[in-house]
Structure 1
Amino acid sequence: MSLRTTIAAVAAVVSLALPVAASAAEMKVAYVDLQRVLLEVDDGKAAKARLQKWLDDRQKEIDKEQEALRKEKETLDKQASAMSPDTKAQKEGELQRKVMVLAQKWEKSRAEAATKERQEMEPIINKIDQVVASIAERDDLAFVLERRDSGIVFARSQHDISNEVIRAYNAQKKPAAAAKDAPTKK
């Protein structure tokens, strides 16, 4: 390839890239911290409180069972010297099975908690996505990136729409609640 054709090819590529670069410079981009939004919207706070209460209740049950097993172990240790080796082995086996059942119950509770959290948060996340989309449409944003998952290392806070998303999300419920609480005309 001659120098002339190389220069012509580069000029053609540059002339095609300039409009794309110019339009990219005009694109508006924003970002949102979805985790923060999820924790700060009213529905998210209520869902987290419900989940925490559920988790606390499960933990109390497990703690109570664990304490009962601890007492049973202490009793077994005190009485072990008076037991026959077969009886002692049988009691230790029973205690070990109870410990395994409790461990399985704890694992099951963790899995249930993850499922419950997904069920609680999914509708809220869907509503947040709708709010973000409406803000993007209104402000003519080409992209709205998620702060944590997008790989953003630095972004100016002026491009963060998290607070606006929280306000808009919470405002969606306010008119319906106000209409519900308003006196009806008879």
Structure 2
Amino acid sequence: MKSKLFKAVAVAAMMSVSTLGVQAQELKIGYVNSDRVLREANVGKAATQKLEIEFGKREKELKDIETKLRSSAEKLEKDAPTLSEAERNRRQRDLMELDRDLQRKRREWQEDLTQRKNEELQAVVDRANKVIKQIFDAEKYDLILQDAIHFSARVDITKKVIDALNAQK
């Protein structure tokens, strides 16, 4: 009877020791601020600059059309009392046509910009995810989060990701 009791106590003791070992292992968690990576990493800055160059000319053209439309509207308002009805109607139609053209071009520009921005950002995100995976494997993380409401600076590895991205060519 004593030997059965002794065996049961020994088994219980070994089980409690093994669970303490599991509990003593600390979970290694990291956090990456995706927005900050996109803003501060050289590849993110390069993508933003590329888009500004690619779409800057069209944006300037839109601003020029808008300025022309505004000045034409002011001129029509100023000249309206002295214009004939037919001339005033013609100028108003021209202004409305110019405004429709401006709105169409602005909408097309915005759609094109959004599409290209998504393409460029996706390329940056893919590179960042590869770097995060490398850090995850090399430093033996258990979990790395990219979106969190609250996080401690102790688990923030954003700078490490940015530095690794900047070191790549």
Q: TM (normalized to structure 1)?
A: 0.71
Q: What's the counterpart of residue 109 of structure 1?
A: 109
Return the alpha-carbon distance in structure 2 between the equivalents of residues 141 and 24 of structure 1.
Answer: 16
Cα distance 1:33–1:115, how it changes in 2: closer, same or farther (>3 A)?
same
Match of 2:76, SS state, is helix
Name which of 147, 153, 158 aligns with 1:157: 153
Q: State the 1:67 CA deviation.
A: 1.4
Q: What's the counterpart of residue 162 of structure 2?
A: 166
Return the alpha-carbon distance in structure 1 between the equivalents of residues 23 and 114 of structure 2.
Answer: 43
- Is 1:30 aligned to residue 26 of structure 2? no
Q: TM (normalized to structure 2)?
A: 0.77
The one-letter code matched in structure 2 to 1:92 is: Q
The one-letter code matched in structure 1 to 2:122 is: E
Larger radius of gyration: 2
Cα distance 1:137–1:27, how it changes in 2: closer, same or farther (>3 A)?
same
Structure 2 residue runs without a partner (length 5+): 1-14
Identity %: 28
Cα distance 1:78–1:24, how it changes in 2: closer, same or farther (>3 A)?
farther
Return the alpha-carbon distance in structure 1 between the equivalents of residues 24 and 132 of structure 2.
Answer: 21
Aligned residues: 151
Q: What's the counterpart of residue 97 of structure 1?
A: 97
Return the alpha-carbon distance in structure 1 between the equivalents of residues 87 and 66 of structure 2.
Answer: 23
Q: State the 1:79 CA deviation.
A: 3.1
Work out whether residues 66 and 102 of structure 2, in 8 Å CA contact, stay in contact via their aligned partners in 1.
yes
Cα distance 1:34–1:59, how it changes in 2: closer, same or farther (>3 A)?
same
